[in-house]
Chains A and B, each alone.
Chain A
Amino acid sequence: MLKKLLHSREITAFAFIVLMFWGVGMINPAFLSATNIWLCFNSSVVFTVVAIGIALVIITGEIDVSVGATLGMTATISGTMIRDGQPWHMAIIAALVVGLLIGSVNGFGVTVLKIPSIIMTLGVNGIVRGLIYVYTNGKWVENISFDFKSLSQGRLFDAITYFYLGALVLMLLVHLFLTRTKRGKYFAAVGDNIGGATLLGIPVDITKFKAFALCGILAAVGGVLYVSRVGFVTPIAGNGYEMKVIAACVLGGISLSGGVGSVIGASVGAAIMASISRVLVFVGLSSDYDNTITGILLIIIVVSDSLIRRRAVEKARRERLAAKTLHAITDGKGATHSA
């Protein structure tokens, strides 16, 4: 069990977050206060939910760079409705429907029109970003009711917010779905070997479509949480979130080539991403470096991961070749070679 745990890909993310907290605590002990640590985790709730969504897409071997725009759009719509005094549940439903719609457009483009997902979602990202400006005329959505904002402040035992608790429950549910159900296992299968999945009669396109649709819905959930947590929505809300959540997934052990990784890893990665700006402040640097550091981390992890994999593949190839060659000698039959 311990061995399995140590070999799991999430372990690097856990190790990373522990080391990061410990390291920052060395420089500034105030960082290690319980309040601050809870703050790091609680503030990662939006990243966590969106990262779980994009993890579904990445595990099937695709990518979605439109999650930031989807989050911005759904936050704008639900924020406007709440500001205008509409019932909360209507605002939430509207956000989820829009998220589902955007995710479905992505899924349609990738599975039916066969557009590479990076291009499809990049295009959708631009379209949605533009529509946000059209919808708001470039104005901020402000004056969100206090009651709605205070939802994000509710805490259990004065420590963990109900929002973050909810995100963790969501993480567990999605994790169980991916690892314990037949349809959930299709996600990793499609990302692992798409040709093999097709031969087994696994509905490859439907699975990918589902991944994009769920990703859109979870980005919308992120949008609603964003409205409550931040309390206002600018036209550029969610900008750059796609890099943050992709980095969270990669840091959490999800392979960008698909088939490998878990949403638990993605959630730990999201907590790391949310902590980076606080970490910078505590070690006395400007939090302006946040995105730069995220980008550097993303590249370092992806490069080292692919180097390790390439080396493993090469080693396996050579071992296989060597096994074949040696076999001839032990085989005895006809293995005499010409002098």
Chain B
Amino acid sequence: MNEAIRLPRDAMLSVRGITKAFGSNSVLKGVDLDITRGSVVALIGGNGAGKSTLMKIIMGIYQPDDGDIYLDGKLAKLGKPAASLAAGIYLVPQEPMLFPNMTVEENVLMGFKENSSVLRKRLAGLINHLGWNMDLGRRAATLSIAEQQLVELLRGLMRDARLLILDEPTSSLTFNEVKSLFKTVEDLKAKGISIIYITHRLTEVFQIADQVLIMRDGVITLNGPVTDFTRDMLVAGLLPPNADVRDAANACVAQDLTGKDPLLVVENLTGYGFNDVSLQVYPGEILGLAGVVGAGRTELATTIFGRDVVKSGKVYIQGRDVTGLSTRAMLEAGLNYVAEDRFLNGIFRLSDVAANTTAANLNRMSRFFTNFKEERKLTDQYIKAFRTKVTGQDQTIGSLSGGNQQKVIIARSLSTMPKVLILDEPTRGIDAAARGDVYHIIAQLKEQGLAILLISSDMEEIVELSDRAVTMYCGHINQEFAKCDISQDNLMAAAFGVIEGSASGA
């Protein structure tokens, strides 16, 4: 039974056979992993691959259902965060978890047992050693995200962390901030600190990592020194095994738009988070809007949809000037927006599928009392068309899988009969099969002549679906691609603000 488990000798952290399920949803299916001292390990994988869950288990926030964690070759019991912290593991979350009403110093020194004068001296020494310039008296609420991350790093280093987990640290940083973060990572590595670096950006892997891990569907599918891999190999590792035929099947035929009038026109639009954005979407066309998280895509979409003020510029739907109208007026004008975050902005979690489907359309459902026959008819129509997996219309939407929830949300938007649809990250956090279904639905909508603006940070998604694509970088549209020029490489480069050569439309 209890065989001696062989671990690499220089492994600081080893993980063996970790499994974890939430209800019937199995998130980790047996993960093995070794982290060498003083190495930077890049962990990549799509949303829902299980990265965060694995990290939370290492941090002692979740308990694994099965499997063991070893520190320096010895079996470790990491039952709670305090144990992991004591073992020298520190997680820098994607959104820094500071105390906004406390000063930087209070934030860093919170949670220590030692005398505060000793701690202050240590902190001063540490900052001096790192050569950082930091005002310890500032309130955390006034710091930029990058500064907040530095505070998080200080917290970890003050705990003599030997393993830092950085969860997508660059996702909301500006270009220069990313450069200085990389320098910090190099410094820490030189001091013998191991780093797990979670990222969605392949270019970063080659810039700073020694070792690369890819997770997909709860298992590690690729693991080895970065030098053994090329970017294409990593991309292949991220894709499901049967996805390699996609590019060939996706023939490059640009749509003929002559003689058509665009349904959605955005002219020199400026608002909070974006500047001077112009684009057009034609009927029966999918315009991909690519860019990294924080580039201003969602701000653009929500501003068009009437959720924030327009500073300057114009928005036209079917030739009608609708600039700055309220959300309700936008809906009437024929625009609908499927929000990025289903839980925050999408579903009515405790209501059933039928109520969720028809929620945007209650005027049609009722004069005063809801016409349940009509409601059932409409719901049934969409459940069939979208192949939504439900036990019945009365199932609460919260108990559906992410993909099926998303289908219901799209159905709800469509029930208002929009002419223009903005889809914001439509397949975030949903599994591969459901993703295929959602793609199929989007393609159908295109056939029906809707103008679709598809916002995604998943470059594959943009490549697969878009007829044209634009990339957004730091609040600007920095490049436009015709159908034949859309490739993951091109999009990624432009989304990163690196424009190679002269592409069309730029």
Contacts and interface: CB of A to CB of B under 8 A. Distances in A.
Nearest to A190: B99
A55 interface: no
A199 B479 CA distance: 41
A193 B97 contact: yes
A320 B498 CA distance: 23
Contacts of A197: 99, 110-111
Interface in A184-206: 185, 188-189, 192-193, 195-203
B111 A200 contact: yes
Q: From B116, B275, B473, B478, name the one whose CB has the most chain A CB atoms within 10 angstroms.
A: B275
Size category of the A interface is 35 or more
Given A198-B61, A335-B476, A324 B273 contact: yes
Nearest to A331: B175
Contact of B296 (A198, A202, A324, A331): A324
B80 interface: yes
B60 to A, nearest CB: 9
B473 A202 contact: no
Q: From B111, B296, B498, name the one whose CB has the most chain A CB atoms within 10 angstroms.
A: B111
Contacts of A189: 99, 102, 110-111
Interface in A321-336: 321-329, 331, 333-336
Interface string B165-200: 000000000111000000000000000000000000
B368 to A, nearest CB: 33
B97 A199 contact: yes
Given A199-B81, A331-B174, A331-B474, A325 B102 contact: no
Contacts of A328: 275, 473-476, 497
Contact of A201 (B81, B97, B145, B275): B81
Contacts of B82: 201, 203
Given A199-B91, A316-B141, A324-B296, A338 B470 contact: yes
Nearest to A336: B478
Nearest to A327: B174
B475 A324 contact: yes
Contact of A321 (B61, B101, B299, B473): B299
Interface in A75-128: none
A337 B506 CA distance: 7
A163 to B, nearest CB: 33
A199 B142 CA distance: 21
A200 B112 CA distance: 9
Contacts of B278: 338
B402 interface: no
A318 interface: yes
Contacts of B20: none
B310 to A, nearest CB: 13
A283 B506 CA distance: 74
Given A199-B81, A331-B174, A334-B499, A325 B296 contact: yes
B477 interface: yes
A195 B98 CA distance: 9
B99 A193 contact: yes
A126 to B, nearest CB: 27
Given A334-B497, A338-B478, A260 B101 contact: yes
Interface residues of B, number: 55
Contacts of A325: 273-275, 296, 474-476
Contacts of A327: 174-176, 474
Interface in B468-498: 470, 473-480, 494, 496-498
A202 B477 contact: no
Contacts of A316: 141-142
B91 A192 contact: no
A337 B111 contact: no
A323 B474 CA distance: 9
Interface string A301-333: 000000000000000111011111111110101
B97 A324 contact: no
A321 B476 CA distance: 12
Contacts of B101: 188, 192, 259-260
Contacts of B142: 316
Interface string A167-184: 000000000000000100
Nearest to B278: A338
B296 A182 contact: no
A335 B478 contact: yes
A105 to B, nearest CB: 25
B85 A333 contact: no
Given A192-B100, A331-B474, A185 B110 contact: yes
Contact of A338 (B81, B273, B479, B496): B479
A201 B89 CA distance: 12
A185 B106 contact: yes
Given A200-B110, A324-B174, A334 B478 contact: yes
Q: From A199, A318, A333, name the one whose CB has the most chain B CB atoms within 10 angstroms.
A: A199
B144 A338 contact: no
Which are the 3 A-B pairs with shortest beta-carbon distances?
Answer: A196-B97, A328-B474, A325-B475
11 contacts: A192-B102, A193-B97, A197-B110, A199-B61, A199-B97, A318-B272, A325-B296, A328-B497, A333-B175, A338-B479, A338-B480
Interface of B: 59, 61, 80-82, 85-86, 91, 93, 97-102, 106, 110-113, 116, 141-142, 144-145, 155, 174-176, 272-278, 294, 296, 299, 470, 473-480, 494, 496-499, 505-506
Given A182-B112, A188-B99, 18 more contacts: A185-B106, A185-B110, A188-B102, A195-B97, A198-B61, A201-B81, A201-B111, A317-B272, A320-B144, A321-B296, A323-B174, A324-B273, A325-B273, A328-B474, A334-B473, A335-B476, A337-B275, A338-B478
Interface of A: 182, 185, 188-189, 192-193, 195-203, 259-260, 316-318, 320-329, 331, 333-338
